[in-house]
Amino acid sequence: MKKLFFIFLFVCNICISQSNVQVLNLSKAALELTNQKVIYDPSYFSIDYPNGDVPRDKGVCTDVVIRAYRKLGIDLQKEVHEDMRANFNIYPKIWGLKTTDKNIDHRRVPNLMTYFKRQGAEKPITQNANDYFPGDVVCWNLRGAITHIGIVVNKKSKDGKRNLIVHNIGAGQVLEDCLFDFKIIGHYRFID
């Protein structure tokens, strides 16, 4: 019995270690994106499917998340589209859609929030910086119905109290100390 217990613990540690590696890889992928010059551009683009992307030098906040996950081999365009197609009634109807649109659905913060929640990735929203780990995805309400999304990374604020965020709020894909600058409305740790 003890032998089985230790084997179980060993296997669990391997799973936890692989999960930690994937989370740190997401942080690394997000940091790499800050080297890519991107102009904030919320235009609608017709893109390939699957693995479609807007032009390399353009994007919004969701494109940071999409591109970082794609570096890990996770295609959020495909994953969100398939989940929305199968569960359209669960996703927000903010834009008056009657059906899915593989060009834009994954590029909308409320849709990513719904997808991550449906995948069991939701974490508590707190005002404690220690609860936000590298590789976590955070969503904010900027004001009114304007939402925003970014990735917590493995770099600390100047005072060492908070992990920094990679996001695109208008100045391209940048690294900033902005975790608590806006009201947090979503916190996720999604590893496929």
Per-residue b or e along 12-33, where b marks 16 or more CB atoms closer than 10 Å to that residue's CB: eeeeeeeeeebbebbbbbbbeb
Distance of CA 35 to the CA centre of its chain: 18
| DSSP label at residue 95 | T
The structure's pTM equals 0.89
> How many domains, in total, are found in the chain?
1
Contacts 24+ apart (CB under 8 A), 40-48: 40/168, 40/169, 40/170, 40/171, 40/172, 44/103, 44/104, 45/103, 46/103, 47/77, 47/102, 47/103
Question: Would you write out the chain's pLDDT as a tens digit for each of its 192 residues?
Answer: 444 333 343 444 434 445 678 778 999 999 999 999 999 999 999 999 999 999 999 999 999 999 999 999 999 999 999 999 999 999 999 888 899 999 999 999 999 999 999 999 999 999 999 999 999 999 999 988 899 999 999 999 999 999 999 999 999 999 999 999 999 999 999 987
Range(s) of the domain holding residue 103: 2-188
